[in-house]
Amino acid sequence: MLLASAVVVWEWLNEHGRWRPYSPAVSHHIEAVVRAGPRAGGSVVLGQVDSRLAPYIIDLQSMNQFRQDTGTLRPVRRNYYDPSSAPGKGVVWEWENDNGSWTPYDMEVGITIQHAYEKQHPWIDLTSIGFSYVIDFSTMGQINRQTQRQRRVRRRLDLVYPMVTGTSPKAQSWPVSPGSATSPPAPPCSCPQCVLVMSVKAAVVNGSSGPLQPPATRKNMPPSGVVKLPPPPGPGAKPLDSTGTVRGPVKTAPSQVIRRQTSSMPAGATAGSPASPPGANGKTGRVALATLNHTNLQRLAIAQSRVLIASGVPTVPVKNLNGSSPVNPALAGITGILMSAAGLPVCLTRPPKLVLHPPPVSKSEIKSIPGVSNTSRKTTKKQAKKGKTPEEVLKKYLQKVRHPPDEDCTICMERLTTPSGYKGPQPTVKPELVGKLSRCGHIYHIYCLVAMYNNGNKDGSLQCPTCKTIYGVKTGTQPPGKMEYHLIPHSLPGHPDCKTIRIIYSIPPGIQGPEHPNPGKSFSARGFPRHCYLPDSEKGRKVLKLLLVAWDRRLIFAIGTSSTTGESDTVIWNEVHHKTEFGSNLTGHGYPDANYLDNVLAELAAQGISEDSTAQEKD
């Protein structure tokens, strides 16, 4: 129970175990359906308020979000926050992703950032709530504490999230009991799709027999007792006549089909109410979807689809009706009807097939790649050059500034005209010295730059924390392993005119070194060997050569926390995306993808790897 005022935010659980907020407009829409109670039907079509969410429906009974084109189910929740916090003021904090679009922070993070912003703090460290980021309000940037990568952030105003006052029911308390309703139920919509929805719900609740019949009020429909719908095969089913019409009642097993609901039934009445006829066996059992077997559930969904198609409803796929998917076939079918009732196009089809690997390839079919030497490469830990202190390394990249400008050092956030505010281990340089990076021209306390270098990989390179310009040769902390690469005689989707380059990464588990997050502690290596794919085109070979440079510089993988499983001290990808799906693109890591090669070239460039790098490696 919730006493006093609160802000209601509806949230969904993503694949990383984080609760992500719906927008204020979507939360208002969901809340309106919740407050309407059972008369609203118990399902929320998100596309009615946000066209980008057209495939999604929320089932309030199970508190799940269902995506109709893939069959994905995700939990949702109704969460409460302080009215004086960010959602209560309509404040949304967002970060810029790699595509240039803006993504809202989790509600907990957004509230923490807004609190620091209101207190006029210059920055906020998010480590205390589990994120290795610093938000700098002066530059409106997000800085990764481990990689020093920076992204833009923004603060914008939106609708205030819905408010509740007094005693509010928890999410699982929906629907309220019929006796608690204070107002009579509103009459349901009389359009053909909505009447069909009500008939399906009534039939599922009662689990009785008889074919599904669209309402008799629908135009161009046969009279009562004549159904333009072939029944599923079963004992006692009558054959169709020459017009495909079943004449007279059809005797079938009680659990195989849905009860007919006629147009004479009172509004809001169900097939199990006193206004409806008894079941074929004289009982009005309340049978849930979970009690029906796979065959009957599939027939239910197909019957619903046939009615929709026969009535001229435009269609797109609703998937996962067949195969081994955990999505209940009847759930997909009912979702289709609900989407149709909302004016969204629906049809029932088979799900797309995930193709992770190519067809089997014999050893004789595997070929080396023209222009690329060898077919494999190993990497071991490369020690940083000895004999040079951090001050000596940075001296190559810096020019001393005798009269610094009156602005902030973006590392310590103190004015450049005052000594450095860094409080860690003391470098040997004076804290008031200021230097300018030679290529990009950004100015910092030399004291701060030395401290930043000491906290990094100490490989003789330096990356500007503002513009990410790299000085020297950047290397990473990738653990030892093996990279194999060769040609296979199959084409990738979108690249029919060339063969495929297959890359196989193999990294065993081991013990972390001094450059890793937890030296001396073991690390895991999940999912190896990892298979990745490139088209054997001119640009594809260019990407491969640069990936080889990245591998030698230990930049492909790192040790950290998996964003997929949440496991710490494990081998993870290191901001250079790979395609691991060979023949499809259901996960977003496959083909076709017209922009992938250009995107990965840009990611490699951000790591200091370009065509010039291949020449440097040869030297």
Query: For 348-396, what is each residue's pLDDT tens digit?
Result: 444 567 788 899 999 999 999 998 988 898 886 654 455 578 888 888 9
3-class state of residue 81 by DSSP: strand
Closest CA to 597 of 558, 545, 552, 555: 545
> Which of the four pLDDT bands, split at 50, 70 and 90, describes residue 569?
very high
Q: Judge whether residue 3 has pLDDT over 80.
A: no
Q: For residues 574 and 566, which has the higher predicted lDDT (pLDDT)?
A: 574
Question: What's the average model confidence in pLDDT over 122-137?
Answer: 89
> Which of the four pLDDT bands, split at 50, 70 and 90, describes residue 332?
low
Q: Which residues pair with 483 in a beta bridge?
A: 377, 505
Closest CA to 93 of 124, 63, 60: 124
Q: For residues 134 and 59, which has the higher predicted lDDT (pLDDT)?
A: 134
Closest CA to 348 of 312, 304, 293: 304
> Which of the four pLDDT bands, split at 50, 70 and 90, describes residue 338?
low
Q: Judge whether residue 293 has pLDDT over 70.
A: no
Answer whether the bond into residue 529 is a cis peptide, omega within 30°. yes
At 335 the pLDDT is 60
28-42, 248-262, 424-438: segment of lowest average pLDDT: 248-262
Q: For residues 3 and 86, which has the higher predicted lDDT (pLDDT)?
A: 86
Strands 317-318 and 347-348, bridge-based pairing: parallel
CA distances from 133 to 109, 121, 125, 441 (A): 11, 15, 6, 25
Q: Are residues 215 and 195 in contact, defined by beta-carbon separation less than 8 angstroms?
A: yes
At 484 the pLDDT is 96
Q: Are residues 21 and 32 in contact, defined by beta-carbon separation less than 8 angstroms?
A: no
User: How confident is the prediction for the chain on average, in pLDDT?
Assistant: 74
> Which of the four pLDDT bands, split at 50, 70 and 90, describes residue 454?
confident
Element (H, E) at 596: helix 596-606
Q: Are residues 448 and 435 in contact, defined by beta-carbon separation less than 8 angstroms?
A: no
CA distances from 182 to 162, 343, 346 (A): 21, 30, 36
Element (H, E) at 534: strand 530-535
> What is the rounded CA–CA span in Å between residue 601 and residue 615?
16
Based on C-alpha coordinates, what's the Rg of the chain?
31
Question: What's the average model confidence in pLDDT over 258-283?
Answer: 35
> In 314-469, which residue ranges form alpha helices assigned H by DSSP?
329-341, 390-395, 446-454
Highest mean pLDDT among 268-272, 321-325, 512-516, 615-619: 512-516
Q: Judge whether residue 308 has pLDDT over 90.
A: no
- Give the sign of the dihedral formed by CA 448, CA 454, CA 457, CA 458: positive
Element (H, E) at 194: helix 192-206
The token duo for 283 is: 């009982």
At 615 the pLDDT is 62
Question: What's the average model confidence in pLDDT over 588-609?
Answer: 92
Q: Judge whether residue 582 has pLDDT over 90.
A: yes
The token duo for 62 is: 């199970």
Q: Are residues 346 and 338 in contact, defined by beta-carbon separation less than 8 angstroms?
A: no
Residue type, 386: K
At 493 the pLDDT is 94
Q: What angle do CA 74, 76, 79 make, to 5 degrees?
A: 155
Torsion (CA) 544, 582, 16, 101 in degrees, nearest 10: 70
Q: Judge whether residue 40 has pLDDT over 70.
A: no
Question: By percentage, how much of the chain surpasses pLDDT 90?
Answer: 37
Closest CA to 12 of 54, 61, 69, 73: 73
